[in-house]
Structure 1
Amino acid sequence: MGDDSAERTGYRRSAGSPRGEARRRELLARVTDDLAVNGLVDFSLRRAARAAGTTHKVLLYHFAGAEDLLAQAVFALRERRIGNALAAMAGGAQQRTLAGRVRVAWQTLRDEEAGLRRVLDQAVGLTMYDPERYADLGRGSTRQYLNLLVSFCPEPWPEPRKREVAELVLATLRGFVVHRLTSDDPGGADAGFAALERALEREEAAGD
C-alpha cells in the first residue's frame, strides 16, 4: 500500500449522522468493488478515491485513513464470502450436520470468484508480511470465520467444545487454501478435506 501520509493531516471525520453514514456506506461499497477486481497491490487513498469517484480528502472525512478504509473493505469482502456460503447451504437436508455445513463452506470457498479469492488471500499475505502493521486484518478474519464455524456446531454442545472444533476446522481449511495455491496436485486438498469430513462425522457421532 502507498500514500499513507494523508492520514496524518487531521481532516475532520464524519460524526455519524444518517446522511453521513449513508454516504460512508456508498463510498465503502465502491472501494470494496474495486478491491474485488484489482486486488490490494498499490492500494492507496488516491486509488480508492478514483474508484469511489471522489477525492482522498472526502474519504478522510468518512474514514480514519487508508488502513481503516482497507480493513473495512476487506471485512465487507469476507462478509460477502460468508454470505455466499450461507446462501449455498440454505434449505439443504445435508446441511443439518456439522460435516455437511463445513462441506458446503469448503465447496463455496473452493469455487468462488477468482477476484474475491485473490484479494482475501492477499489480505492474509499482508498480515504475514507485516504482522505488526496488519495484525487487525488477520485477527478480523479469524473472528469472522470462527463466529460462522461455531454456529455450524450442534446446539447442545458446550461453548468450549464448539470453539475447539471451530478452531480446528478454520486452521485446516486455511491450510487447504495454501495447499491449493502451492501444490502441483490439484486433488490433494479435496482428499485432505475428505479426511476432515470423516473426523467431523465421528466428532458429532460421539455426542456430548
Structure 2
Amino acid sequence: MSVAEGRSGREQLLEAALEYFAANGVHNESLRSLAANIGTSHRMLNYHFGSREGLLAAVVDAVEQRQRLAYAALMDSVGTGLPRTATRAFWNEVVEEALAYGPLVFELAAHAMQGERHAKGLRDTLVTPWIDILAESLVQAGRDPAIAPVQARLALGVVNGLIFDLLLTGDRSGADAAHGLFMDLIGLDDD
C-alpha cells in the first residue's frame, strides 16, 4: 500500500520493521542493518522513530494495539457477556498473532525485565492495560468488581503462559485443550 493509499511513510516503515523483526528477532540489529534489510535508510528510521529504542517501542506498541483492537471488536460483538464461542475465537486470533509476533514480544519483554532502556515502557503496557480491559469485561459480564482485577490477572497469566508453551513446543492442540479447560474452570457459559 502506498502513502497515497492512506498509510504514512512512518506506518510503512513500522510495518516493514515489524515483519522483519518477527521473522528474524531483534538481537543487536542496528538501524543501518535493519534499514538495509527493509529497503530504506537509517536516516529515515531515525527521522520517524528517533532511535533504535524508539523503533522497538513502536514495534511492540503496534503488536499490542492490534490485540487490543481485536479484543474491542470481540466485546462489541458479544455485548456484556463473555460467551465461550467468542472467547475461543479471540483465543484463536491471539494465537495466530502470537505465531507471527510472539517471539518478538517475548524477546522485548525480556529486555524490559532486564531494564534495557528501549523496553522500559513495556513495563507499563504489557500487563496493566490488559488487566484493566479484562477486569472491565468481567464486571460487565456480571463478575464481582472486587475480585475482577485478580481474575483478569489470572486469565492474562494463563493466556501468556499457554502462548509461551505453544511457541516453545509447537503443540497447538495441547495449548488449545488447556485453554478450553481454563474456560471450563472459570465458568464461561456456552453460547
Task: Provide Cα deviations, 1:36-81, integer angstroms capped at 9, x if missing partner.
Answer: 3333234321133335543323332332311111011111022223
Q: Is 1:169 aligned to residue 132 of structure 2?
A: no
Provide the C-alpha distance between the structure 1 equivalents of 2:61 and 2:129, rounded to a whole number of angstroms.
8
Q: What one-letter code is carried by the residue in structure 2 that aligns with 1:127?
A: A
RCO (CA 8 Å, sep 6+): is it higher in 1 or 2? Answer: 2
Asked if the contact 2:99/2:167 (under 8 Å) is kept, the reply is no
Q: Is 1:105 aligned to residue 113 of structure 2?
A: no
Q: Pick the structure with greater CA Rg.
A: 1
1:119 to 1:64, Cα distance in 2 relative to 1, 3 A: same
**Residue 178 of structure 1 corresponds to which residue in structure 2?**
164
- Counterpart secondary structure, 2:40: coil
Which of the numbers 132, 136, 139 marks the counterpart of 2:121? 136
Asked if the contact 1:98/1:153 (under 8 Å) is kept, the reply is no
Q: State the 4+ residue runs in structure 1 displaced beyond 6 angstroms.
A: none
Pairs aligned (count): 181
**Residue 127 of structure 1 corresponds to which residue in structure 2?**
112
Provide the C-alpha distance between the structure 1 equivalents of 2:37 and 2:112, rounded to a whole number of angstroms.
24
1:200 to 1:117, Cα distance in 2 relative to 1, 3 A: same
Runs of at least 5 residues in structure 2 that lack an aligned partner in the other structure:
1-7
Deviation at 1:168, TM superposition (A): 1.1
RMSD: 3.6
1:60 to 1:184, Cα distance in 2 relative to 1, 3 A: closer
Deviation at 1:138, TM superposition (A): 4.4
TM-score with structure 2 length normalisation?
0.69
Q: Give aligned-pair identity as a percent.
A: 24
- Counterpart secondary structure, 2:50: coil
Asked if the contact 1:98/1:201 (under 8 Å) is kept, the reply is no
